[in-house]
Amino acid sequence: MVALDVCAESLMERPAADDGEPDEATIEACRRGDRRALGRVFDACAPTLERQLRAMLGLRADIEDLLQVTFVEAMRAFPGFRGESSVRTWLSRICANVAKQYLRGTDRRRRALVNLSTEADVRPGSALPSASDLVEGRQRIERFSDYLEELSPKSRAAFVLHVIEGRPTAEIAVILGLSDVAVRSRIFLARRGLLTRMREDPLLRDLCAVKGES
């Protein structure tokens, strides 16, 4: 299967995300329900969508199902795709809605937890870490994940897409159906909430300034 560049990592940092969009013929084929074309477009975007779901939900066991739901919803909706945003943004929006519906369903928010590997604790470029470094590194990420869970779904989504995924706020506004100002405001609130929790946490306190310090 030929992977399209539409969701390539390199696009993450670009303000204009439409480079590498599938051509109009491919989009038209997707609108017609051509499974090969859909497969190519989805395949190219799948890593981004998977990471977005993991960042927003963290629940490893459900990611596969939710990703499938995202694709199915996209297939259903593709005939109505008007090309007003890039395919990537459009798919991210569907993905965000799927995640939102999932969170709305139950108290799953509390259960959300990123399944972390011990590899995550090894900082690139460092010497072989000690066992205590490994444990501490893992705990810090888990704690950070917990605090992300405490944010409201919209604040978390905005923060994740902007700070973790590196998306521009204008694109996030399209994905989340908010204004650009509202997105920035939610990111700001999320950041402030996280910093508050970090300052209270002995494990994370040293990563940020103590309140009042200047």
Partner 1 sequence: MGPRCLRAGLLMEKQRSGLSEGEQVFLEEHLRGCASCRSDQRGIATLASDYRAALDRAADPGVRERALRRALDAPPAPHRATSFRLGLAVLLGTCAAGVAAMLFFVGRDGDDATVASKPVVRQGDRLVSGDLEVDGQVKAAGSGIAPATVLSTQQGALLTLGPARVGLDGGTRITWLPDASTVVVRAGRVEVELDAARAHPFKVATDRFVAEVVGTAFSVDVEQVRVSRGRVRIMAWDGATLVTALDAGQVWSVRQGVRVSTQPPPRDGATPDAIALAAPDETTACAPGNSDRRVPVTPPPYGVSATQWWAAHPFNPDLPGHVPVGGICSPEPTIDVFARHGGDLPAALAALPSGGGTLYLQPGTYDGRFTLAGKSHVHFVSPGGAVLVGGPARIAGCSRALDERSFTPCVRAQEPACTACVTSGRVSDIYFKNITFDGQGTAATAVELAAVNGVVFDGCTFENYVANDRKQPGVISGLMRPSNVWIRGSRIAASQRWGVYLNGLHGGGVVSSHLEGFSEGAILFKTHVSLIGDHDGDGRIADDEMTQSSYVVAARNTLGAPAPATRNSTGISISGANSIVEKNEFTRKLSVMTRLMGECDVTNPRVAMTSFDHVVRANRAAEAVVFVKADGTPHNCHVRGNARFFGRYRVEGNVISRRSPTLVLVEESYPAGIDGPNIIQGNVCATEPCDGLLRRRR
Instruction: Check binding of 102 to partner 1 (CB under 8 A).
Output: no
Instruction: Check binding of 113 to partner 1 (CB under 8 A).
Output: no
Q: Rounded distance, CA 7 to CA 47, Å?
A: 8
Binding mask 18-37 for partner 1 (x = CB under 8 A): --------------xxxxx-
Instruction: Check binding of 2 to partner 1 (CB under 8 A).
Output: no
Instruction: Check binding of 182 to partner 1 (CB under 8 A).
Output: no
Q: On the CB side of 124, how many CA atoms lie within 13 Å of its CA?
A: 0
Instruction: Check binding of 65 to partner 1 (CB under 8 A).
Output: yes
Judged by CB under 8 A, the residue of 51, 100, 108, 197 near partner 1 is: 51
In terms of CB distance, is 21 or 190 closer to partner 1?
A: 190
CB of 10 to partner 1, least distance (A): 15
Among 114, 160, 168, which Cα is nearest to 139's? 114
8: left (phi over 0), alpha (psi -120 to 50) or beta: beta
Instruction: Check binding of 213 to partner 1 (CB under 8 A).
Output: yes
Q: Rounded distance, CA 78 to CA 71, Å?
A: 10
Q: Would you give the distance in Å from CA 104 to the centre of its chain?
A: 17
CB of 97 to partner 1, least distance (A): 16
Give the range of 20-28, 70-78, 84-92, 101-109 binding partner 1 by CB under 8 A.
Answer: 70-78
Q: Rounded distance, CA 114 to CA 190, Å?
A: 18
